[in-house]
């Protein structure tokens, strides 16, 4: 019998666990996932997405209604307002938790009772592709596993990574300023557990293969509950070794390959997305050779695009875009400008100078933003992320401060994102134009709360029905642009992309469908001044009929020019 799956799995496991019986371990993993050793592989380089795919990122309780479970309210909002707009819903951790708005999970296999139940989750999964977080790096210090760790019993006794305060840990890369090791009293004395993010988020020990088997069981449960897209949270930190940076280690990459192998053999249409908020070159490594993540977050896009629009200069965005490799078939990018976290600054390393970073930080501070820090190996605190609502991040420019172009600048940012190679993802508070929630920051004491507002559904519906509200203007214009995008083959996430050179105030790129039957020239005025662009600089083909998908404007004279108002975008296509 051909045991192709098992043979491949064993070879991967031997990289991670060279001293263990990997043949036996592979049998345990396959049994846990309900797979046979000769399970047929999925088609190679298969794209489980197309131009119609749009992701919504939301907390389970971002939209609420008195007397109703938030997951039910969210489903109602999705059905009533977004059923023709988004194809995929990423519900941020909806499990019982002790801190970090869900990312300190207490029980991976339960739904937070205050949000709803598994039936509510499955109902959303029946209408939309469901993305869920696999919070794989760490677990709550109030979980049953960690209680068992302190009691020195299974399951949990050896599930958490321990460190020695005498070890040299100076090389460890972390996104926080809190101590790395936390002292814990256990039944057999004091132990020091590794906490990459906080003392309430204790890192799991994947050197113990029982932890991997546990997560195989968790993954299978999620698949059977309707989850089809897995976001591997903070996965870059998964494997730790004192004396190393303990980020991006080879064992981490191999574990991602193992998880992908198991997931895609169980469900060939399932997708893995890695969440690695790191410099661009490091981020790209998570594609592997099209055998790790199907999709990676385009973490450099948010800070670069915001910087472009507040400076009126696209040179850095253009340089970055030209350096980005086209994703292989079966892989692509997840494009986003805002998320539940802040605007990461590490992804700008090597892309913006230190002075440019500081100027961006100062500008965001003037627009009501906050800054979170991380501690470097030499003990310095460096800016890690800017905490700000995207609508307020784009309220003005570096030179002039707040101005009257906020709405247009905000729409321009999303028009750029919608057209780029990859899958667009909208954070719910960007889709709604939500502003800085400083009251929530004060109440929680956490800077990230600035962009984690909660809407009462009645208030939200009333606001969206008010044509004078900027929330309504944002929501309806973004829905209109999304509807246009979803019909264009040239906007397939893997369609060809080339950068155009139209000066520093105009950012442009060209997309061509994989069948080469549609071209779209995406041209954006990223400044607060009118821009004139000669059509000869765009190289439109004279035998084609050209129209702007956004405005309906037709191009009759290719020897002429087009005029773009401040922050205006055009999508010029030869097919409508």
DSSP string, 372-428: EEEE-TTS-EEEEEEE--HHHHTSEETTTEE-S-HHHHHHHHHHHHHHSSSEEEEEH
Range 320-323, long-range pairs (CB < 8 A, 24+ positions): 320/280, 320/351, 321/420, 321/497, 321/499, 321/509, 322/499, 323/280
What is the SS3 assignment for 449-486? HHHCCCEEHHHHHHHHCCCCCHHHHHHHHHHHHHHHHC
Residue 547 in 3-state DSSP? strand
Contacts of 162 (CB under 8 A, 6+ apart): 191, 192, 193, 194, 205
**For residues 157 and 149, is the Cβ–Cβ distance under 8 A?**
yes
Catalytic residue among 61, 120, 200, 233: 233
Q: What are the distances in angstroms from CA 140 to CA 148, 225, 499?
A: 12, 23, 45
**For residues 302 and 263, is the Cβ–Cβ distance under 8 A?**
no
Q: Which two tokens stand for residue 7?
A: 């043979």
Q: Which two tokens stand for residue 299?
A: 């973490």
Does the CA dihedral 386-390-395-399 come out positive or negative?
A: positive
Per-residue buried b or exposed e for 284-309, using 16+ beta carbons within 10 Å of the residue's own CB: bbbbeeebbbbbbbbbbbbbbbbbbb
Choose among 43, 132, 44, 47: nearest CA to 331: 47
Choose among 429, 412, 425, 531: nearest CA to 477: 412
- CA 121/CA 438 separation, integer angstroms: 30
By CB atoms closer than 10 A (0-12, 13-18, 19+), residue 1 is exposed
The Cβ-side half-sphere exposure at 102, using a 13 Å CA radius, reads: 26
**For residues 311 and 397, is the Cβ–Cβ distance under 8 A?**
yes
Q: What are the distances in angstroms from CA 24 to CA 32, 372, 558?
A: 12, 45, 68
- Tell me which residue has tokens 């719910």: 428
Annotated binding site for substrate: 100, 138, 231-233, 340-341, 448
- CA 368/CA 61 separation, integer angstroms: 24
Contacts of 247 (CB under 8 A, 6+ apart): 172, 173, 236, 237, 278
Contacts of 358 (CB under 8 A, 6+ apart): none
233 catalytic residue (yes or no): yes
Residue 130 in 3-state DSSP? strand
Catalytic site positions: 233
């Amino acid at each position: 019998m051909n045991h192709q799956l098992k043979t491949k799995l064993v070879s991967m496991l031997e990289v991670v666990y060279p001293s263990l019986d990997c043949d036996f371990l592979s049998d345990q993993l396959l049994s846990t996932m309900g797979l046979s050793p000769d399970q047929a592989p999925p088609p190679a380089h298969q794209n489980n997405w197309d131009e119609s795919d749009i992701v919504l990122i939301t907390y389970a309780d971002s939209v609420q209604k008195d007397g109703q479970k938030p997951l039910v309210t969210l489903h109602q909002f999705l059905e009533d307002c977004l059923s023709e707009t988004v194809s995929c819903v990423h519900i941020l951790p909806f499990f019982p938790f002790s801190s970090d708005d869900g990312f300190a999970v207490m029980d991976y296999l339960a739904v937070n009772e205050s949000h709803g139940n598994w039936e509510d989750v499955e109902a959303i999964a029946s209408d939309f592709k469901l993305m869920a977080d696999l919070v794989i790096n760490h677990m709550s210090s109030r979980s049953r596993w960690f209680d068992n760790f302190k009691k020195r019993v299974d399951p949990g006794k050896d599930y958490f990574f321990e460190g020695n305060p005498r070890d040299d840990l100076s090389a460890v890369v972390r996104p926080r300023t809190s101590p790395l090791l936390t002292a814990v009293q256990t039944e057999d004395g004091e132990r020091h557990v590794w906490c990459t993010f906080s003392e309430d988020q204790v890192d799991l020990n994947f050197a113990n293969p029982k932890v991997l088997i546990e997560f195989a069981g968790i993954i299978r449960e999620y698949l059977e509950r309707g989850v089809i897209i897995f976001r591997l949270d903070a996965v870059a930190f998964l494997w730790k070794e004192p004396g190393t940076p303990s980020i991006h280690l080879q064992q981490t990459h191999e574990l991602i390959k193992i998880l992908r192998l198991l997931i895609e053999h169980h469900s060939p249409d399932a997708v893995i997305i890695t969440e690695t908020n790191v410099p661009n070159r490091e981020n790209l490594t998570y594609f592997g050779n099209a055998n790790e993540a199907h999709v990676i977050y385009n973490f450099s896009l948010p800070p670069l695009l915001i910087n472009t629009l507040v400076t009126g200069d696209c040179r850095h965005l253009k340089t970055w875009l030209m350096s980005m490799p086209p994703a292989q078939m079966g892989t692509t990018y997840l494009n986003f400008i805002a998320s539940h976290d802040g605007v990461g600054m590490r992804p700008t390393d090597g892309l913006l100078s230190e002075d440019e970073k500081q100027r961006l930080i100062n500008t965001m501070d003037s627009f009501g933003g906050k800054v979170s820090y991380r501690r470097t190996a030499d003990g310095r605190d460096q800016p890690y992320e800017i905490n700000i609502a995207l609508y307020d991040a784009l309220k003005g420019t570096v030179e002039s401060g707040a101005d009257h172009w906020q709405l247009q600048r905000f729409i321009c940012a999303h028009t750029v994102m919608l057209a780029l190679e990859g899958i667009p993802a909208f954070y719910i508070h960007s889709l709604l134009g939500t502003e800085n929630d400083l009251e929530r920051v004060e109440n929680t004491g956490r800077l990230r709360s600035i962009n984690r507002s909660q809407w009462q559904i009645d208030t939200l519906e009333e606001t969206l029905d008010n044509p004078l509200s900027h929330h309504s203007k944002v929501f309806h214009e973004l829905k209109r642009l999304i509807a246009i995008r979803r019909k264009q083959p040239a906007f397939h996430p893997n369609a060809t992309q080339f950068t155009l050179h139209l000066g520093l105030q105009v950012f442009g790129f060209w997309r061509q469908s994989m069948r080469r039957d549609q071209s779209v020239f995406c041209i954006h005025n990223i400044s607060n001044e009118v821009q004139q662009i000669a059509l000869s600089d765009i190289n439109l083909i004279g035998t084609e009929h050209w129209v702007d998908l956004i405005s309906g404007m037709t191009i009759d004279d290719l020897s002429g020019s087009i005029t773009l108002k401040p922050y205006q975008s055009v999508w010029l296509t030869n097919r409508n």
